[in-house]
Amino acid sequence: MDISFLLNGETVQLTVEDPTVTVLDWLRETQGLCGTKEGCNEGDCGACTVMVSDASGNQALNSCILFLPQLNGKALRTVEGLATGDELHPVQQAMVDEHGSQCGFCTPGFVMSMATAHANDAVDHDDQLVGNLCRCTGYAPIIRAAKKVEGAPKPEWLGRDRWFVDRMLKEHDYASPTVLYEFAAWYKENPDATLIAGATDVGLWVTKGLRDLGKVCFLKQIEELAVIEKTENGLVIGAGASIAQVRDAVEPYYRDFAEMLRRFASEQVRNAGTIGGNIANGSPIGDCPPALIALGATITLQCGFETRELAIEDFFIEYGKQDIGAGEFVRSIFIPDQPDRVKCYKLSKRFDQDISAVCGCISITVTDGVVTDARVAFGGMAGTPRRALAVEKALISKPWTYESVAGVLPRMMLDFIPMTDMRASAEYRMKAAQGMLQRYVLEDFDHETRVLEVSS
Amino acid sequence: MSIHKPTPHEAATLHVTGRARYTDDVPLPSNTLHLAFGVSSVAFGQIADLNLSAVEAAKGVVAVYTAADIPGENDVSPIAHDEVMLAQAWVQYAGQPIFLVVADSHLNARKAARLAQVSYTEHTPSLSVDQAMAGDNPFEKAQKFRKGEPQDALKASAHQISGRIDMGGQEHFYLEGQVAAAIPQENGDMLVHSSTQHPTEVQHKVAHILDVPFNAVRVETRRMGGGFGGKESQANLPAGACALAAHLTGRPCKMRYDRDDDMIITGKRHDFRIEYNVGFDDSGKLNSVIMEHFTRCGWAMDLSLPVADRAMFHSDNAYNLPHAEIVSHRLRTNMASATAYRGFGGPQGALAIERVMDHIASHLGVDPLAVRRANFYVNGDTTPYHMEISDSVIAPLVDQLAASSDYEKRRAEIEAENLANSTAILRRGIALTPVKFGISFTLTKYNQAGALVHIYTDGSIHMNHGGTEMGQGLFTKVGQVAAHEFGVTLDDVKITATDTAKVPNTSATAASSGTDLNGMAVQDACETLKARLQKMLRGHFKTKAVAKFADGRITLGKHQIAFKDAVAMAYDARIQLSATGFYTTPKIKWDREAGRGHPFYYFAYGAAVSEVVIDTLTGENRILRTDILHDAGKSLNQAIDVGQIEGGFVQGAGWLTTEELVWDAKGHLKTHAPSTYKIPACSDRPPVFNVELFENENVEPTIHKSKAVGEPPFLLGMSVFFALSHAIGSAGNRDVYPSLNAPATPEEVLKTIYRLDGGGYGY
């Protein structure tokens, strides 16, 4: 596979022998660029963060789960490429001045996340940096540094990188298609290939599972697959849209869904990971499916030129088994227009960058004080993301009161027999899921129920 | 003047540009080999069959070694010679290394390591405290401190309570995992690059493994990407493996653990169960405290005895216990061997007495701060180990913090709000907790340090000492000391990698003692050199004036000379421009058998106020505000000290909230990656975070009257835990004490709320 990209302003053209070599390993082992660090090798610590730019903008990404071919046609900046001669990038200087480094090992990753945020004029520093773990500083000086450089001049190379990238010829072949129908036809003939979009999950098959993926196909160059469109009666989201793009797209319509996506993994993972991947991998603890179930979304699957549609909850058959055929892929998701009644409750040991123990997404329609529709969906309560059908049924036609909700809570036990694992016990999952339904009704009656909204 | 200044970290610019070189970044010859361990999949058993043929045949594999290939001693333990590098007949924990793969790449080594076919004769592992107590096979007999007549005093007390607190361990999660490289030298010598807090111990272990004298092994450590105690003894294993493979293959060998391997193989903070019986008066003033510690030490002794000792030493925290008995059980379990972790048992011991304070306050229905104040040490009191307290500042320090944080008013508001709104889902809590932390290694012999200082003929200075840099700013502070002594700038002082060939027989950089010990050793070396220069200059200027070193010049009365010129003159006069320095901590003595002595040179103090909010439907919780006042003596570097305090607090809060280690029933660690083990992230720090240094200076003549600051601030995180306890206590029957356990995950918080009302938590 031939690829070309910019590395710290210099053009790199190479033939990739193994398409699952990570950018981190390539930088450190082949290029001798050891500033980028391996902390966890699974995209959870951010020590390997790099900046990747293309026409759509600048993104912080975890290079440990970024495969080299994913750089094709883009500009890569590493910590070695930030300074201009002897002049440090403003975030580097601020990190020195504010004592933002102690052991220094996480620092290159932080600096790259901060430089990317700075390039994008992003000042939601906690959200920008939550994918970078630091064990020494307690983060306070790092945030002081991030605040200090708000509005500081941007380095000249940002514009130069973009100028080159816009003119760079993107290599493409079967493993890195750009046209949706070409890909669909090819995949139908090659259903054994592993599809790679953001690689935030597949990356770990390689770095942790040590799997040889065999035939692979990189999907991120298919622009059509990532289109998000508001139609007359709903929102159509291409499966290739990143979580970050989905968050922006749903924000005007479904504020709490967007708020949950703010807490989805980290900036690096939200930039890389796709909504299609979050559905297609069939995880019982992915955060998009419960929200989409609560919103009554449908998904479109495609095989060759054929497409079919199904309710998203029907896609998940049982743990590890989805309704998807050989050569078939998730094409898009449709969310029908509706009043914004959905609330999304993501419960985890840590608020940010954590996998949910339980993710409850609830949408209850009330007409004249009576429940007329209820969609109560959970992740983490069963082998698949699922609706609490017994609870929903019991709620219909009940007056919309706390007492009604309290009365149906025991029915949750008919709906789910949750498991105990390292994230939570079965008992806790059940109590918390019931608590989420209580929270929904209390919140509807204007009670304060969210610790994240309490001011200091 | 370079001391008492907030100078940036000496390597800050290297850090932010990615040019700071860590062990994994050291350029090695192109024929370097890479290593990975094959590990046990069972917690306790005998190896029935070990078939490595698929490993040997795997792509890129050069060799596979087992215990039989070790020429010397198969041991990587710090003390007891009980920790085999590679398992022999028995495996003692899930994750224990059995064989070592040597391959042409890191990835090939990891892939091959999974191909072994190992069968075991499994035995029932000892995993829980109860199993270990029943098994009756501790690492040593139960240890005891005793002061006064605790049993009689307990019975005679107006009030008595008893309880138990369980607290989890903690994964270090240094961002740089364990890593080492070994490069064979001529004549069988070995050069080792190791990410270790204890280069000398690595030197010793490598020498024993290779069966060579210590002088055949040289260990170099420029910096670690975080240590926190996790590289005090745990670095021996990868360094030993590299040395073994380098010795046997004759090629350079490097090993870095993949993160999951790191978390599975290496030891963690000791978890503790502590049971207490306490007697006190109507004001909450303690009369008698009887405590029993149970700690799971894992399969090998490692540093567990001194860790468990330090937990006992801190079972008083900042309080006078008129009568006390502290008993400690050091339990053998089939888990990774628990090891040093910032605080070294101190936080665990202190958490229990803070629990007692909180429990007493609940019992009496008063503000826990009133109970704490009633019990603070005053100078002249003695500890449960019979050391007289002579430097306590805890009462004024707490008064100052309570005022600056507006503690009383805020607590009253929260109490009123919680009482007025009995159905509120969200509840706030606040707590102020103090810290008193003993400074010195409790094994007296470790309290020594050496240094080596050269002045070159251009006036530039090369400084070396026995301490290691893990981010704590040791090199910066010690560099400041040297620059101050010679009256030059920090830029004139080259701070160099720790190297067993430059300063020998060093102690671990641990116990917060790095600056205290090495700063004094460097000062000693500088003074030797200054005395030589002074003698020369007195002769030259024909004066008896004292030489003053400042601003790049040496002044003797009315005579003055540039430092550089004096150095050049000294060379010409054939005066030695290199000196060693040495320091031993005075005053300390400890009789472990009697449980009596003066084990600490001094104490460091501090206090924190934290406010939290909890959700009583899910147990979710977060910190809203933290105020800290901490005693770093007369700070050598305020920026570095504040950094230690902020970072220590957040790490301590993480230990007690989100950081949960989970093992399954067969002894497999289930939280072995950052995806499942959650250290605090950026948004978990207190949104309002006020940190101040307490105006103080050490009463002892430490280096420029400063105090150690590495570990003590970790204990400030306790304020979060007791703020949570406060919030939880408001959410149910107030006659029941919450008895919150750590870590206070959302689940633990919710479970505790259910317990308050006697409600069943199951379903």
Question: Would you call B378 exposed, middle or buried from its count of C-beta atoms within 10 A (0-12, 13-18, 19+)?
Answer: exposed
Q: Do B174 and A129 touch (CB under 8 A)?
A: no
Question: Closest to A92 (Cβ–Cβ): which among B16, B472, B686?
Answer: B16
pLDDT band per the 50, 70, 90 thresholds, residue A21: very high
> B15 and A95 in contact by Cβ < 8 A?
yes
Assess whether pLDDT exceeds 80 at residue A95: yes
* Interchain CB contact of B259 with A (< 8 Å): yes
Give B761's pLDDT tier (boundaries 50, 70, 90). low
A79 class by beta-carbon count within 10 Å (0-12 exposed, 13-18 middle, 19+ buried): buried
List chain B residues with CB under 8 Å of A423.
Answer: 676
**Cβ proximity of B498 and B522 under 8 Å:** no
Residue A442 and residue B621: Cβ atoms within 8 Å?
no
Asked if A377 and A290 count as a contact pair (C-beta separation under 8 A), the reply is: yes
Residue B762 has pLDDT above 70, yes or no: no
Residues 405-424 in A contacting B (C-alpha not used; CB under 8 Å): 413, 421-424
Query: Can you read off the two tokens belonging to residue A13?
Result: 């053209």
Our CA-based measurement puts residue B671 at a distance from the nearest CA of chain A, in whole angstroms, of 7
Q: Does B142 touch chain A if contact means CB atoms closer than 8 Å?
A: no
Mutate to test the interface with B, among A45, A48, A95, A103 (most CBs of B within 10 A): A103
Arithmetic mean of pLDDT, B649-667: 98
> What's the pLDDT score for residue A173?
76
Question: Quick check: B676 and A423 CB within 8 A?
Answer: yes
pLDDT tens track for B536-589: 999 999 999 999 999 999 999 999 999 999 999 999 999 999 999 999 999 999
Domains, in order of start, for chain B:
12-124+172-265 (3.90.1170.50), 271-442+592-756 (3.30.365.10), 448-584 (3.30.365.10)
| pLDDT higher than 70, residue B318 | yes
Interface of B with A in 316-355 (CB under 8 A): none
The verdict on A141 touching B (C-beta cutoff 8 Å) is yes
* Environment class of B110 (CB within 10 Å of its CB; exposed 0-12, middle 13-18, buried 19+): buried
Say which of A37, A347, A454 has its CB closest to residue B426.
Answer: A454
Range with lowest mean pLDDT among B464-468, B569-573, B733-737: B733-737
% of chain A residues with pLDDT over 70: 100
Residue B171 annotated to the active site: no
B749 Cβ neighbours under 8 A, 6+ residues apart: B614, B619, B620, B621, B724, B728, B740
Residue B10 at interface with chain A, using a CB cutoff of 8 Å? no
Min Cα distance A169 → chain B (Å) is 31
Contact flag B647-A137 (C-beta cutoff 8 Å): yes
- Picking from B21, B256, B689, the nearest residue to A140 by CB comes out as B689
User: With contacts defined as CB-CB under 8 Å, which chain B residues touch A41?
Assistant: 258-259
Catalytic residue among B232, B711, B747, B748: B711
Query: What is the structure's pLDDT at B759?
Result: 67
> Is there a contact between A427 and B20 if contact means CB atoms under 8 Å apart?
no
Query: Binning pLDDT at 50, 70 and 90, where does residue B489 land?
Result: very high
d(CA B52, CA B68): 14
pLDDT, residue B110, reads: 98
Predicted confidence (pLDDT) per residue in B138-169, tens digit: 999 999 999 999 999 999 999 999 999 999 99
Match 């024929």 to its residue by tokens: B31
CA–CA distance from B390 to each of A3, B377, B446, B601, B698 (Å)?
70, 10, 23, 11, 11
**pLDDT band for position A167 (50/70/90)?**
confident
H/E element holding B177? none
Q: What is the pLDDT of residues B603-652, one digit of tens each?
A: 999 999 999 999 999 999 999 999 999 999 999 999 999 999 999 999 99
Residue B423 is predicted with a pLDDT of: 87
State the pLDDT at residue A422: 97
Q: Which domains occur in chain A, in start order?
A: 2-164 (3.10.20.30), 179-336 (3.30.465.10), 347-455 (3.30.390.50)
pLDDT digit string, tens, across residues B93-131: 999 999 999 999 999 999 999 999 999 999 999 999 999
Would you say residue B757 has pLDDT above 90? no
Average pLDDT of every residue of chain B: 97
Q: What is the ipTM of this complex?
A: 0.97
Query: Dihedrals φ, ψ of B173, to 5°?
Result: 45, 45
In one-letter notation, the amino acid at residue B250 is G
Where residue B140 falls (left for φ over 0; alpha for ψ -120 to 50; beta otherwise) is beta
Q: Scan residues 630-649 of B and list those with Cβ closer than 8 Å to A.
A: 639-640, 642-643, 646-649
| Half-sphere exposure at residue B115, Cβ-oriented, CA atoms within 13 angstroms | 18
Asked if residue B656 lies in contact with residue B679, where contact means CB atoms within 8 angstroms, the answer is: no
Residue B576: the pLDDT is 98
Residue A393 has a CB neighbour count (10 Å cut-off) of: 14
What's the mean pLDDT in A101-125? 98
* High-pLDDT (> 70) share of chain B, %: 99
B19 vs B760: which has the higher pLDDT: B19
Q: Are B192 and B242 in contact (CB under 8 A)?
A: yes
Closest by CA to B264, choosing from B746, B676, B648, is B676
Nearest CA in chain A to B638: A99
The proportion of chain B whose per-residue pLDDT surpasses 90, expressed as a percent, equals: 98
B731 confidence band (pLDDT: 50, 70, 90): very high
Is the pLDDT score of A175 beyond 90?
no
Grouping H, G, I as helix, E, B as strand and the rest as coil, residue B729 is helix
Per-residue DSSP letter, A27: I
Res. B707: pLDDT tops 60: yes
CB-nearest partner of A40 from B259, B615, B642: B259
Is A287 in a helix, a strand, or coil? coil
Residue A358: strand pairing partners: A347
CA–CA separation, B236 and B189 (whole Å): 18
Model confidence at B732, pLDDT cuts 50, 70, 90, reads confident
Both tokens assigned to A335: 């969310």
Crossing angle (nearest 10°) for helices B407-420 and B394-404: 60
> Distance between CA A328 and CA B439 in Å, rounded?
65
Once rounded to an integer, what is the mean pLDDT over residues A162-170?
A: 85
Q: What is the pLDDT of residues B389-439, one digit of tens each?
A: 999 999 999 999 999 999 999 999 999 999 998 889 999 999 999 999 999
Q: Which residues of A, range 332-371, sit inside 8 Å of B by Cβ?
A: 345, 347-355, 357
Q: What is the pLDDT of residue B434?
A: 98
Taking the C-alpha atoms of residue A87 and residue A91, their distance in angstroms, rounded to an integer, is 11
Distance CA B240, CA B182 (A): 9
Residue (of B342, B227, B171, B268) closest to B713 by Cα position: B342
CB proximity A92 to B under 8 Å? yes
The three-class DSSP label of residue A308 is: strand
Task: Answer whether B9 sits within 8 Å of A102, measured CB to CB.
Answer: yes
Q: Report chain A residues whose CB lies below 8 A from the CB of B650.
A: 137-139
Q: What is the pLDDT of residues A377-408, one digit of tens each?
A: 999 999 999 999 999 999 999 999 999 999 99
| Contact indicator for B161, B359 with CB cutoff of 8 Å | yes
Q: Measured between CB atoms, does A37 come within 8 Å of chain B? A: yes
B59 touches chain A (CB under 8 A): no
At residue B760, the pLDDT reads 64
Q: Tell me the backbone φ, ψ of residue A372, rounded to 5 degrees.
A: -110, -20
Region for B336 from its dihedrals, namely left if φ exceeds 0, alpha if ψ lies in -120 to 50, beta otherwise:
beta
pLDDT > 60? residue A94: yes
Mean pLDDT of B691-702: 97
pLDDT on residue B733: 85
With a cut of 80, say whether residue A170 has pLDDT above it: no
Residue B513 above 80 pLDDT? yes
User: How far off is chain A from B625, nearest CA to CA, in Å?
Assistant: 6
Interface membership of A382 toward B (CB under 8 Å) = no
Spatial separation of the C-alpha atoms in residues B44 and A219, rounded to whole Å: 46
Q: Which tens digits make up the pLDDT trace of A293-304?
A: 999 999 999 999
B747 touches chain A (CB under 8 A): yes
